[in-house]
Structure 1
Amino acid sequence: MNKFMEFLEKFLLPIADKLNNNRYLSALRDGFMVALPLIIFGSIFVVIANFPFLDRLLSEDAFTAYQNALGPASAATLSIMGTFVIIGIGYKLTEHYGLEAIYGGVVAFAAFLILTPQILEGVSGVIPTSSLGAQGMFLGIFTAFISAELYRFFVQKNWTIKMPDGVPDAVSKSFSALIPISLTLSVFLLIRIIFSYTHFDTVQNFIYTIIQEPLTALGSGLPATVIAVLLIQLFWFFGLHGQIVINSVFDPIWYALNDENLHAFQAGTELPNIVTKQFIDTFLVGMGGSGMTLAVIILIFMIGRSRQLKELGKLGAPAGIFNVNEPIIFGLPIIMNPLVIIPWLLAPVVITFITYFAMSTGLVPPPAGIIVPWTTPPLISGFLATGNAWQGAVLQAFNLLVVSIIWWPFLKIMDKNYYESEQKASKDTNEKAS
């Protein structure tokens, strides 16, 4: 065990540290965080628009009118979520360089629109919403990175217009950004013209064919998902936020898969993907936090004898219900604790297999593409994420039971060690007092 941990420390930690501090991955992560409130807003109205049995309670015309009335909420947020992510990435990356961040955000979005085909079913001047959503996500990410870097380069070269003293600050900043923005967008216009002479026709077709489609196929599979889940747990074990590191890489893939399911769910057709953003967030992370530690809290109340674990259970339970598990991670502790490395790594992998099997066989509907807030308590989140299906809640309950079984012997040993140490300390204190 010691040699294994030394090996992981030597090779894994440096890689994780570099990923965690990489400015592009940080901007990507923060860009998704900018979009998250809008995504959740749209998801809430998808749930409201698809309440169970509502189509049976209302007439067909009334139900259609009801869904049409609520439709703009998701169409203006979820369907074009890529636009918010692009602006967020450009903003955050430019902010990282200490420049005027808002111009980094808008130049990223404008550059993306220049590269986006503006034609729909033969009508020019119309941008398909699919290009602004998951389908255009990868192009948007690359565009945001490159445009922010170009804007920074031109600003730091001092290719700006200097306004005289006394000019309002807003006007001065606007003219100062004029040349860097114009040069940056000119580069993207040139790229669009060049690709128009290739068989791909557009940059978006090139990105989707060469990069996004293969990566999406890989990320939707079970092997890649298991590896991602295992790495999240490993990074957490060594004190690094595993989700921040891994999600920075996989979120564009998982969100794209999520969006495909949402469109299928709204259209009433078969859901194409099992692994999505909500597969991870609802059925793994969304059960007490990373490692599904709500099961650990339940076990503490059931078998805990030591004062340390009992107090930890009381402290961690309120937060754990809402999927915040820092009290357990740092209080049990989980970080660098060899007693828990087996259940900590094993349980999420087992649950990944169980959840994938349950959904692939039709026992439980796949996630419907609805973004459920990560703080939603288990059972409720499973019900909502699967499109108001009770099977989602049952699967979460079953998963918690499985995690509890895996953890039971290890937590029992830990509790016994803590209890014996407390008894010994109490006995020593009494002997000194007498």
Structure 2
Amino acid sequence: MDKFMEMLENVLMPIAEKLNNNRYLTALRNGFMVALPMIIFGSIFVVIANLPFLDRLIGDDAFAAYQNALGPASAATLSIMGLFVIIGIGYKMVEGRGGEAIYGGVVAIASFLIMTPQIVEGTPNVIPTNSLGAQGMFLGIFTAFVSAELYHLFVRKNLTIKMPEGVPSAVARSFSALIPVTLTLTLFLVIRIIFSFTPFETVQNFIYTLVQQPLTALGSGLPATLVAVLLIQVFWFFGLHGQIIVNSVFDPIWYSLNNDNLAAFEAGEELPHIVTKQFIDTFIVGIGGSGMTLAVIFVIFAVTKSRQLRELGKLGGPSGIFNVNEPLIFGMPIIMNPLVMIPWLLAPVVVAAVTYFAMSTGFAPRPAGIIVPWTTPALLSGYLATGNNIMGAVMQLINMVIVFVIWFPFIKLLDKQYYGEEMRIAEAKA
């Protein structure tokens, strides 16, 4: 184990050093950190608004009213989290160059909104909220990078208005930013106009189509499922909501297979499919969220000394029980963190393969087509999704052990780095 840990440290640490010094990746990470408080707030209320089986306790009408009352909490945060990330990236990009950071954030969000479709179901001058969330995240990140670089370029070329002495500094800064902001936004407007004459109509549609079309050809079955699971993890690693991107293509397939199993289950016949919507949602995502991070929290509490990681475990544990893991994803962070890239990508793929073969051999029951609320805690969800079969919960427990084992050495490595930094800070203060 010590030799393996040393090898990981020797291989991954230099890569981490180079990535940490990259201004784009640094701005990306810091941009997500700007959005973190809103993400955590929204995550908490998503859990509260979707407590399992509450509708059966209080009735459908009362439950609908309850969800409507709490809905704005997530709608104003998680649903439009792309806006916060874009502002953060633009701000941090310009701040890192020593410029007026606030204008970096402002020009980034304005550029993104120019590129965003502004029509909903034939109604003009309306921005769809899904474009402001995960669906528009890739375009938002790219736009923030480009707009911040353009703004800084125009400032560096002295394309600014110089105000005379005596003008208040706030007024002078506004006029100084006028020409760089105008030139940057004009370029994005031209790009939008050009794309309006293409079949895609908007840049957002162009990018989204490029992501979706390769996925559509994958179909169903174990190979396609492993690819889908891996892509979910890859997208998340780069700050994109992998489930929304991949599920938008695979959900029609998975739901159709799910319905076949449900019909067979109700008829008392053999279940025809292994891979269904509940296969993904219950035996992979339903164990702490994307990446199956509930087991990672167990690793944190079992082996770490770092105060940062242990506090993160306390923060992410309660929501992780209900399969909401944004606090862990953005707090560790997992995004753009080479030290956890291998387990993040590997663990769900291994679990998907193991679960598939366990079900194909009859060791574990296949999903019965029952749609279990996605916030249902692990073990209970496995029991319910397989038609109240205890082996569904056992399969989830086995999957958690697999994730625990895969993540163990990497959390030890991360803990060693964080704990060392904490000790150096403590010694410097002493």
> TM > 0.5 between the two?
yes
Q: Give the letter for the 1:188 counterpart.
A: F
What CA distance in whole angstroms lies between the structure 1 residues aligned with 2:393 and 2:171? 55
**Shift of residue 59, structure 1, vs aligned partner:** 3.6
Which residue of the partner structure matches residue 56 of structure 1?
56
Aligned positions of 1:8-407 closer than 5 A:
15-211=15-211, 214=214, 222-223=226-227, 249-254=237-242, 256-257=244-245, 274=280, 284-288=292-296, 293-294=299-300, 297=303, 322=314, 350-351=350-351, 353-354=353-354, 361-362=366-367, 398-399=398-399, 401-402=401-402
Greater displacement, 131-140 / 161-170: 161-170
**What RMSD over aligned residues (CA atoms) do the two structures have, in Å?**
5.3
What CA distance in whole angstroms lies between the structure 1 residues aligned with 2:176 and 2:75? 36
Q: Give the letter for the 1:174 counterpart.
A: S
TM-score (norm 1): 0.61
SS at match of 1:152: helix
- Decide whether the 8 Å contact of 1:258 with 1:278 is kept in 2: no
**Shift of residue 283, structure 1, vs aligned partner:** 5.6
SS at match of 2:165: coil
Q: Give the letter for the 1:41 counterpart.
A: F
SS at match of 2:171: helix
SS at match of 1:251: coil
**Shift of residue 136, structure 1, vs aligned partner:** 1.1
- Decide whether the 8 Å contact of 2:296 with 2:403 is kept in 1: no
- Decide whether the 8 Å contact of 2:87 with 2:106 is kept in 1: yes
Which residue of the partner structure matches residue 302 of structure 1?
none
1:253–1:10 Cα change, 3 Å = same
**Shift of residue 186, structure 1, vs aligned partner:** 0.4
**Shift of residue 203, structure 1, vs aligned partner:** 0.9
1:314–1:248 Cα change, 3 Å = closer
What CA distance in whole angstroms lies between the structure 2 residues aligned with 1:68 and 1:176? 45
Equivalent pairs, count: 346
* Aligned-pair identity (%): 57
**Shift of residue 247, structure 1, vs aligned partner:** 8.1
1:9–1:192 Cα change, 3 Å = same
Q: Give the letter for the 2:299 counterpart.
A: T
Greater displacement, 312-321 / 249-258: 312-321
Q: Give the letter for the 1:81 counterpart.
A: M
1:217–1:171 Cα change, 3 Å = farther
Q: Give the letter for the 1:138 counterpart.
A: F
SS at match of 2:198: coil
Deviations along 1:207-243, one digit per CA (max 9) or x if unpaired, are 111246648999x9535866998xxxxxxxxxxxxxx
Deviations along 1:292-344, one digit per CA (max 9) or x if unpaired, are 635854xxxxxxxxxxxxxx88999966963799xxxxxxxxxx9xxxxxx99
What CA distance in whole angstroms lies between the structure 1 residues aligned with 2:207 and 2:67? 34
What CA distance in whole angstroms lies between the structure 1 residues aligned with 2:91 and 2:53? 43
- Decide whether the 8 Å contact of 2:119 with 2:126 is kept in 1: yes
What CA distance in whole angstroms lies between the structure 1 residues aligned with 2:111 and 2:92? 16
Q: Give the letter for the 1:161 counterpart.
A: I
1:318–1:150 Cα change, 3 Å = closer
Which residue of the partner structure matches residue 266 of structure 2?
none
**Shift of residue 182, structure 1, vs aligned partner:** 0.5
**Shift of residue 61, structure 1, vs aligned partner:** 2.6
**Shift of residue 58, structure 1, vs aligned partner:** 2.2
SS at match of 2:70: helix
1:10–1:125 Cα change, 3 Å = same
TM-score (norm 2): 0.62
1:170–1:273 Cα change, 3 Å = farther
**Shift of residue 138, structure 1, vs aligned partner:** 1.1
**Shift of residue 147, structure 1, vs aligned partner:** 0.3
Q: Give the letter for the 1:250 counterpart.
A: F
Q: Give the letter for the 1:252 counterpart.
A: L
Structure 1 unaligned residues grouped into runs of 5+: 230-245, 298-311, 326-335, 337-342, 371-379, 411-434
1:369–1:158 Cα change, 3 Å = farther
SS at match of 1:150: helix
- Decide whether the 8 Å contact of 1:32 with 1:85 is kept in 2: yes
Structure 2 unaligned residues grouped into runs of 5+: 219-223, 253-258, 260-275, 318-327, 329-338, 410-430
What CA distance in whole angstroms lies between the structure 2 residues aligned with 1:19 and 1:215? 28
1:76–1:12 Cα change, 3 Å = closer
What CA distance in whole angstroms lies between the structure 1 residues aligned with 2:345 and 2:113? 43
Q: Give the letter for the 1:170 counterpart.
A: A
Larger radius of gyration: 1
What CA distance in whole angstroms lies between the structure 2 residues aligned with 1:259 and 1:407? 25
Which residue of the partner structure matches residue 304 of structure 1?
none
**Shift of residue 18, structure 1, vs aligned partner:** 2.9
SS at match of 2:239: helix
Q: Give the letter for the 1:222 counterpart.
A: L
What CA distance in whole angstroms lies between the structure 2 residues aligned with 1:224 and 1:260? 11
